[in-house]
Structure 1
């Protein structure tokens, strides 16, 4: 059977629209020659991975601190959900724009600017005197993350080649998963440590020296890359994409806390109309020879399209799981922040071991590794469902260990290979926008999982109990994992 499309068939169309060649430009603005392409050193790779680690870590590091923040700032449920949602929404809305700006002004330059901005906004979060000030600082922190993260992806794409690029992509995927789990473990440790009486503020203040270190290291070790003929920022596309994501995520994340007033339903009703308008505007721009925010010609690449489709249920389930487990452990089982965080350690260990084995397995068995990983994850979730249904009064992090370890191993065989697949299908000259599309899909799906599964859990828990609410959410994530398993059969057999 002939594949619907391939990177080779779409690439000429993308080049025609963008006016670029396959090579990016160097720091002097001209195209690189084949004898002197930009090269990302080991220290440079560590630096950009550090820049990718921080934003993903901070998406979930606050989960275990929410009860403490609520008590300290008298936030209330609506403000707490806005505090969580503000970061995720600003992050998701601006990611594609961040990738485009890196293509235009230089990825190292934007990475450094984003690192500094992330440090400053983290400082603002750590010093916030009121709940609303914390919400504003958290939104600004999400915007800074959107400036920094796409540059890491695009730099790996543009300044590594061959097997080194494949390994770097695999490591990036592993960092993405580990950072989410470590976020909740580290959050619990820092909260309990309460150094100098800082309490929950330490989870933000610790970002400041790390962000400064990332910026300084980037000056020394990260080569400057950008598109040879960068396109102008697509303002209509940017505005419509932002409006569509806001129309979906804001009511889903805030609706329950504010009682679902009329404006939440109005925004949800506007979401499909805004998506349709965005698609129409972007396709019209592409047909006219301009470079839209999201070149839909890229989605003709079969592997890229399938990989992005798989990312939605995978990351949605992942995001909802992490929030729900943090709440259930602390409020349902009365575990402290450290115990709640340490409950995630078996998942992190399983994920890490699978991530180390993943690249070699991927080279040998291709996309079958992703399929096997989704099966293992489904088994782990089934074990967790049966464990929760068994004896709620005797439930503890130790009892949850087998299911957590199995699920984490499966996730480690899905997430890094899936990210590597999507990145390998993106043409090099569109590395910035392609990285932005991947990161937007990932973060929007995480936020969607928090909004839907998290809201469902918080709605059912008071009336049906933590026991039934947690079991139902785990069962729904199991269904999402079965969807990932089905979609994995449509992936290309070999991953570049």
Structure 2
């Protein structure tokens, strides 16, 4: 039992699975984690393939940006809806449909004859990801309890973090390998057999779960949420590349007003006994708010880091796509190892584990910044960067599971889909914001003060966020649910 921060009565630490819901087996867990890895890998895998796509499909820079942004925006906008559909129609069924759609849209991407075909297929692939991914956390939340849930959430966090790093590593390997002359197309075609495997295993091993009282649709809330999030994310991801045209400025200005309108519609729907897409009462849960606050510096800093490191390694140090990807292996290995230790750290340290991993991560960021600033450019080999990368990976490996654990611990099982959709939407939105803000800062400074100083400045901003995260951890309840 844990006391809430507002002095309310204690509540059970975790709710057991609904008695009518079968428990999640180890094979079922592996299957849904495989389904979770695919969308996360594809968020980053395309980055190293963009030069080859540009040459093969004769795509201008703005169209290439849409290849990335179309996936990201469709993914983020539809995540909450995907979670709600799973609550109503069954998470197993939505996972199966999402896996099948992801395989088909990946095939469409790999066979794209033109750049705009690829843009449309990538947007459809993002929509398929939004159907599949929320069912993973929701299924874990509804079919596990206690330590089994803590371990499963930790594995989910580790898969998420490692998949982001693996995306760029795998992309570089596949593009360099040029299997059967497929070139960049293999970064999409490789998804097809993996999605088919996930589909096959899911039919046999993933238990079905859903809300006890399926919610009615929320058409107004769904439309307003999609429009407001698109108005916020699209100009952030496309505006800089397009030179900040008038449409991007106007939509960005309109975004806060659209978000306020969405919040008003959701409050009215919940007050009248309706079924809002994102129940405002969910955001009033202290654990949910704490989880969102934890995720802000983690994901914005991570995505900004991934962007500036890719540019610095390939443009500044003139690494090839393969070498740039392989340089991140120490980060991926340390991140996975740390995620396996996360449950044990939380048992011993409680919420102070968050402070520890933030300080370790911050130390890694500082080591990287000093290495880049002081070492000769020619001496910046993958081996020289490995210590800082490993420290960063260890910190991230604990942060990601804790983000999901803190946020989802306050979500009732009946709202598991909406809660997991919120968690994933916040994650993807912060990833987009990180690239747009820290990436723009890096590119603006690069032409003025140089790449070294620009890289170090972005790392300094990330370090400030990590120190804020360490301070935030002191305000969390020592014992985590």
TM-score range, shorter chain: over 0.9
CA contact (8 A) 1:63 1:323 kept: no
CA contact (8 A) 2:16 2:144 kept: no
Give the aligned partner of residue 86 of structure 1: 70
Give the aligned partner of residue 14 of structure 1: none
Say whether residues 1:360 and 2:362 are aligned partners.
no
TM-score w.r.t. structure 1 length?
0.92
| Residue 103 of structure 1, aligned match among 87, 90, 94 | 87
**What's the CA shift for 1:7?**
9.3
| Residue 239 of structure 1, aligned match among 211, 214, 223 | 223
CA contact (8 A) 1:97 1:238 kept: yes
In 2: Cα distance, 1:337 partner to 1:23 partner: 46
| Residue 440 of structure 2, aligned match among 448, 455, 458 | 455
Say whether residues 1:188 and 2:190 are aligned partners.
no
Say whether residues 1:60 and 2:44 are aligned partners.
yes
What stretches of structure 1 of length at least 5 have no aligned partner? 12-21, 25-31
Root mean square deviation, CA, Å: 1.9
Give the aligned partner of residue 423 of structure 1: 408
Deviations 1:344-381 (A, max 9, x none): 11111111121111111111211111111011111111
Give the aligned partner of residue 230 of structure 1: 214
**What's the CA shift for 1:23?**
7.9
Deviations 1:28-48 (A, max 9, x none): xxxx6x3x5421111111111
Say whether residues 1:481 and 2:463 are aligned partners.
no
Label 1:102 to 1:5 Cα distance change in 2 as closer, same or farther (>3 A). farther
In 1: Cα distance, 2:315 partner to 2:323 partner: 12
Deviations 1:49-76 (A, max 9, x none): 1111111111111122222222222223
CA contact (8 A) 1:23 1:228 kept: no
Deviations 1:388-442 (A, max 9, x none): 2123343232221111111111111211122222222211111111110101011
| Residue 188 of structure 2, aligned match among 193, 198, 204 | 204
| Residue 268 of structure 2, aligned match among 269, 275, 284 | 284
Deviates more, 1:427-436 or 1:235-244: 235-244
| Residue 403 of structure 1, aligned match among 370, 378, 388 | 388
SS of residue paired to 2:240 = helix
Deviations 1:301-357 (A, max 9, x none): 222211112212210111111122112211221101111011111111111121111
**What's the CA shift for 1:204?**
0.5
In 2: Cα distance, 1:75 partner to 1:365 partner: 51
In 2: Cα distance, 1:221 partner to 1:278 partner: 38
Give the aligned partner of residue 135 of structure 1: 119
In 1: Cα distance, 2:326 partner to 2:111 partner: 27
Label 1:415 to 1:6 Cα distance change in 2 as closer, same or farther (>3 A). farther
**What's the CA shift for 1:83?**
1.3
Give the aligned partner of residue 420 of structure 2: 435
SS of residue paired to 1:52 = helix
SS of residue paired to 1:128 = coil
Deviations 1:455-487 (A, max 9, x none): 332333344432222222222211222222222
SS of residue paired to 1:189 = helix
Deviations 1:136-173 (A, max 9, x none): 11111000000000011111111112221121111111
Give the aligned partner of residue 148 of structure 1: 132
Label 1:248 to 1:236 Cα distance change in 2 as closer, same or farther (>3 A). same
TM-score w.r.t. structure 2 length?
0.95
Label 1:56 to 1:237 Cα distance change in 2 as closer, same or farther (>3 A). same
1:108-127 aligned at under 5 Å gives the runs 108-127=92-111
CA contact (8 A) 1:107 1:151 kept: yes
Give the aligned partner of residue 179 of structure 1: 163
Aligned length: 477
Give the aligned partner of residue 477 of structure 2: 492
In 2: Cα distance, 1:134 partner to 1:37 partner: 40
Say whether residues 1:293 and 2:293 are aligned partners.
no
What stretches of structure 2 of length at least 5 have no aligned partner? none
**What's the CA shift for 1:252?**
1.2
